[in-house]
Amino acid sequence: MATKKQARTTVNSVANALDTHEQVCAERWKHAYERFDRIEDLVKTNSTRLWWFAGIVISLLVSLVLKTFL
């Protein structure tokens, strides 16, 4: 029974594969961080809008209460 001999992975091929992997991951993380920044900006914008809206609603409710009792 003959067994197939596996090709040995050389140090250079592992180093090349690792280098390629690191480059691909660096590019992915670069894009991920850009997306995270955009998402963070959207959250801040929505939070500001929510506070404005809450202020308007509270103002309207206070004016309704004042009109009712005064």
Residue pLDDT, tens place only, 17-67:
999 999 999 999 999 999 999 999 999 999 999 999 999 999 999 999 999
Asked, for residue 36, whether it belongs to a domain, the answer is: yes
Asked, for residue 49, whether it belongs to a domain, the answer is: yes
* Total tally of structural domains belonging to the chain: 1
The pair phi, psi for residue 13, each rounded to 5°, is: -70, -35
The pair phi, psi for residue 67, each rounded to 5°, is: -65, -35
Asked, for residue 45, whether it belongs to a domain, the answer is: yes
- pLDDT for the residue 48: 98
Asked, for residue 3, whether it belongs to a domain, the answer is: no
pTM of this prediction exceeds 0.75: no
Asked, for residue 4, whether it belongs to a domain, the answer is: no
Question: Is the torsion defined by CA of 18, 23, 24, 30 positive or negative?
Answer: positive
- pLDDT for the residue 3: 65
Domain that holds residue 41: 13-70
